[in-house]
A and B are shown apart, each in its own frame.
Chain A
């Protein structure tokens, strides 16, 4: 029996932790459990899952390393943290890959058992870093995680292989101890998840507790840490990822407008989770169609929209490319659909599991002919919920396709979300047209929306399609003047959406030297950079675009109030291109294409560089 050890508890304002190991080590699960528990104790948090495209890359290799970074705090935060304070390395490869990011003086918890000659060689270490002095400057805790797990599970009927699989729960338990978190949320999760495999539930429970008690009993840890709950606005919270928020957002939209929800989709990383979530909401009458390909995904949605559903299709960049022609069909037939593109690294197959913002111009222009669509972008994981509702609302009101851009970072990342009550959500009406008196399929209302005459309605039998439509009658027309007129009309309809979108609000002074402008999923990084820059005494303003087409009415005026505009984006300057074209304004670009979100320091440095010793006055 080990003796009771009194350990100090140190209070921290914020911590960044990174879990890393083989893609088969359960790193994503460990990270998301730590996140959920951390959210549960009331910290603000932000996460960055970062995993390879291979499902089970060969064990021990550098390219098989999966990571999960989590930033949590007692204060308001917006990013997954620039540099981790703590690295949990389940093998040498994980240490090798992640060490360069670790804060100097940071903590390393390494699974000592895995630092054997074979794994060291695979990771390219000449000698064992846990034993030589290469890790001087870090606080290294070598823990025999695998053997301690095996020891704790010696009574289980499980095979050796299954036992070692529980080692991530040992590591998680240890981290719970180190950061003073309760075990209950994960224990109850284990019980639900492995209800049908009691032996595994039991093993994971034991491993989790063994890790926790190890922290308490061992002499290697002399202190543990505590991060107080963050001061968030009052309400009920939960931790939510962007993909889940997107899915629930569409369920909410369908409930709010009273139309059935149809999803046509083909599996693609990193968007598939939206399909998974929506497939589970059958009791809301949600119809999900896992189509034979991306084209059938959108084509079926168009068919469902013709039939009167709130119809959506979800995909990522390569899939959006495949949906191009059908998107044009939705433009021509003026049917309401929402296309969600969870952007990932491109071109081609690119970096399937990494984030990027390089589909903006594809969303804006990637179609044959003059085929404008409304383009929206969600800015944080929980914002995906509201933007899904917003996209649905606009599509239905104006009878047109809307592209909603999210990205791999906000889709897989999560944050605490103050859950809205249903009665706080905007209700919106959409009714089918049913008056057979002088019905004209392409006659328009004040919003230029055409009537939605759904098959099954007597007297409104009509034909639509991809050939150019005659104004009002909707008959096929090859008339040159009509085509010119209709192209302009469709553009005008998209432009009219500006009346439904909020004016942009400047954070900080409304006039000045420097405005930092972002769009979509970079909001957190930019906000944090701007906040830090201000703390450092700089004067800088910020705006964030969620409506890309059309852009807010007052944007031109806002931009004209600043001498310099900085646009950080995870592409080679796509919003910058749009702003230059739209407002004949030059902008300063900050571009990054590393498959990772911006570190706030990268943006903060750029801000300081632009202001060049001047504080921004």
Chain B
């Protein structure tokens, strides 16, 4: 579960990125986070992953209180939250298989677990036949699938995606969003930041709209509204 209570965030240079955000995302939910550029979406994600601390208010993520989390607990928080970015962030000198296995290895998984789990996850995202390729030998959509596989492999209860379709054409975007929906159907909480109005409306999930550091609407009907205001 993700819970924000009256959260503000002021960057050291003085930008007030969040001005009092309260929201609650239950386990198993699929939630879009939309809003204009600079409204504070990425800031919210960084607060969830413990990259930033709130200036005031409280942030609870999967049982951790982020406003007072200790540095050495952060890795354990992050194992409960898989993250997918617009720019994929893959390691090109590793194969597709190793990119995913790497994420397991560095949190101390056993070799046998890795051998069992990686093919399963690659199969889930549709990359089972490309496990020996390198990321540069994949299309943009495939690279994003790989990034999703990596976010998924340690079985986090939550996946957060910051504009996961920003670099993809509409058809690829739809495929990626469908994949995220399928993963959500398997029980993973999903928070997806996006600019793509059409996609949001196609998927009719909960939509939280943020405007200038404040939540301006929170609807359950897939309605994408900030451009109308």
Partners in one complex: no
